[in-house]
Amino acid sequence: MRAPGRQSRSYVRPTGRLQRLVPAVAVLCVLLGAQAAASVAQAQQSGAWPSRPVRMLVGLPPGGTTDLMARATAARLSDAVGQSVVVDNRPGASGAIAGELIARATPDGHTLGLVTTSTHSVAPLLLSVPRFDPRRDFTHVTMVGTTPYVLLSSAAFPAKTMREAIDYLRANSGRLNYASAGAGTLGHLITEAFLTELRVSMTHVPYKGAAPVYPELMADRISLFFDNPGSSVQLVKAGKVRALAVSRPVAVLPGVPTLIEAGLKGFDPVFWYGVVGPAGIPRPVVERVQGELAKAFASDAGRTELAGFGVDPVLSRPEAFEAQTRADIERWGKVAKALGLKID
């Protein structure tokens, strides 16, 4: 007996031709689903990026040249692709905190990073426990530009020229200190190489980025600081800090001699800024980012903006950028080994 008002239902097992069609329909549904998924993936790789705001991680705090370069790069990319590109400063561990976040991000092009010679090529060599491998864990998109180093002193530093500085350092070995934008940065490494060349000892005072160094330098609590020109040029022009020498001639600091001219043969390090993402970003996205940035910084306005930071535009292809990274790892690895330099 069935419940009142309730219809009885029976199941009819498909037979004959209908029975043969059921598996075929199921296979067709699977194929159509796979084709749709592939179409979505292809669209994401070729035309749909970016589908939401892009995050650009930076391993140094706001205020320094790296931060300024990140903001300039983010603004140019945002204008080109019609989507927000948000700078996310994650300072600490010589840039390794930001580097690790980039390396672990989903490789869809919505997480990028503005990295430097320091954070990408040097710090992993010096950290006792590296958080990433720059040769394996990243997609290299483009090197944006390069800049030389400038050796800065306080305005009260007794030596007014590079040659006077060398004599003063030798006469006061072990009594003075120098700053870096962080232990394990390229500035740290080249300062140690500089002091080794002079056979001079100084106390290393690391900071979290370049910006907090300048108040200490202007107050004469720090004697020397190797930095990039972008952060210091206005302070040099105002007489608040002194530029003793540059690693290579730079237009924003005319007349400042090079370290080679001061007698340090072969001492001409340069510093680069570049854009990377996690390993595995689709090639069409990489090509788009590289192409848009190349166009933006090749313009008169783009070149002028970089020149204001003391940066020469490069905008290299991904393969060239990756090759430069590998060459720097080899070069600075030899220097670090010769100096016996390691940090926690």
Tokens of 155: 């305005």
Considering the domain architecture, whether residues 142 and 157 belong to the same structural domain is answered as: no
30/84 Cα distance (integer angstroms): 37
User: Do the domain assignments include residue 11?
Assistant: no
pLDDT in tens, 256-270: 999 999 888 888 899
DSSP, collapsed to helix, strand or coil, labels residue 248 as coil
Tokens of 70: 């990140």
Task: Indicate whether 338 pLDDT > 80.
Answer: yes
pLDDT band at 134 (very low <50, low <70, confident <90, very high): very high
Considering the domain architecture, whether residues 170 and 306 belong to the same structural domain is answered as: no
Tokens of 206: 């690391």
What's the CATH number where 84 sits?
A: 3.40.190.150
Helices (H), 54-211: 65-81, 96-104, 123-126, 162-171, 186-198
Greater model confidence, 39 or 254: 254
Query: Residue 322: CB partners within 8 Å, gap ≥ 6?
Result: 135, 140
How many domains does the chain fold into?
A: 2
253/257 Cα distance (integer angstroms): 9
Helices (H), 109-211: 123-126, 162-171, 186-198
User: Do the domain assignments include residue 49?
Assistant: no
150/198 Cα distance (integer angstroms): 17
Considering the domain architecture, whether residues 206 and 283 belong to the same structural domain is answered as: no
Task: Indicate whether 243 pLDDT > 50.
Answer: yes
User: Do the domain assignments include residue 296?
Assistant: yes
Beta bridge partners of 242: 153
Residue type for position 34: A
Query: Which domain, by its residues, includes 300?
Result: 54-147+270-339
Strand ranges of the sheet holding 270-278, from the earlier edge strand across to the other edge = 85-89, 54-58, 111-116, 270-278, 138-148, 312-313
pLDDT band at 10 (very low <50, low <70, confident <90, very high): very low
Q: Which of 85, 91, 83 is nearest to 67 (CA)?
A: 91
Q: Would you state the pLDDT for residue 142?
A: 98
CB 146 within 8 A of CB 314: yes
Count other Cβ atoms within 10 Å, centred on residue 59.
Answer: 33
Last residue of a domain, one of 246, 281, 307: 246
Tokens of 318: 């991904």
DSSP, collapsed to helix, strand or coil, labels residue 85 as strand
User: Do the domain assignments include residue 193?
Assistant: yes
pLDDT in tens, 95-109: 899 999 999 999 999
Considering the domain architecture, whether residues 165 and 104 belong to the same structural domain is answered as: no
Q: Would you state the pLDDT for residue 343?
A: 73
pLDDT band at 184 (very low <50, low <70, confident <90, very high): confident
Give CA separation, 255 vs 101, 153, 164, in Å.
41, 16, 17
Considering the domain architecture, whether residues 242 and 162 belong to the same structural domain is answered as: yes
Task: Indicate whether 22 pLDDT > 60.
Answer: no
User: Do the domain assignments include residue 227?
Assistant: yes
User: Do the domain assignments include residue 24?
Assistant: no
Considering the domain architecture, whether residues 279 and 134 belong to the same structural domain is answered as: yes
- Provide the 8-state DSSP code for 154: E
Task: Indicate whether 1 pLDDT > 80.
Answer: no
CB 58 within 8 A of CB 88: yes
- Provide the 8-state DSSP code for 127: B
Considering the domain architecture, whether residues 173 and 228 belong to the same structural domain is answered as: yes
Q: Which of 25, 59, 44, 230 is nearest to 148 (CA)?
A: 230
Task: Indicate whether 38 pLDDT > 50.
Answer: no
Considering the domain architecture, whether residues 121 and 191 belong to the same structural domain is answered as: no
User: Do the domain assignments include residue 21?
Assistant: no
Considering the domain architecture, whether residues 157 and 132 belong to the same structural domain is answered as: no
Tokens of 221: 């609590």
Q: Where does the chain show beta strands of DSSP type E?
A: 54-58, 85-89, 111-116, 138-148, 150-154, 177-180, 203-206, 224-227, 241-246, 270-278, 312-313
CB 151 within 8 A of CB 259: yes
Whole-number mean pLDDT of the chain?
87
Query: Residue 256: CB partners within 8 Å, gap ≥ 6?
Result: 150, 243, 244, 245, 246, 250
pLDDT band at 251 (very low <50, low <70, confident <90, very high): confident
H/E segment holding residue 270: strand 270-278
Q: Would you state the pLDDT for residue 65?
A: 87
CB 26 within 8 A of CB 57: no
Considering the domain architecture, whether residues 170 and 198 belong to the same structural domain is answered as: yes
User: Do the domain assignments include residue 5?
Assistant: no
CB 152 within 8 A of CB 228: no
- For the full predicted model, state whether its pTM sits above 0.85: no
Considering the domain architecture, whether residues 65 and 206 belong to the same structural domain is answered as: no
Considering the domain architecture, whether residues 94 and 131 belong to the same structural domain is answered as: yes
What's the CATH number where 200 sits?
A: 3.40.190.10
- Nearest-Å Rg of the Cα atoms of the chain is 27
Last residue of a domain, one of 246, 281, 312: 246
pLDDT in tens, 142-167: 999 999 999 999 999 999 999 999 99
Asked, as a colleague might, if the bond just before 50 is cis with ω within 30 of 0, I would say yes
Last residue of a domain, one of 231, 246, 261: 246
Q: Would you state the pLDDT for residue 93?
A: 84
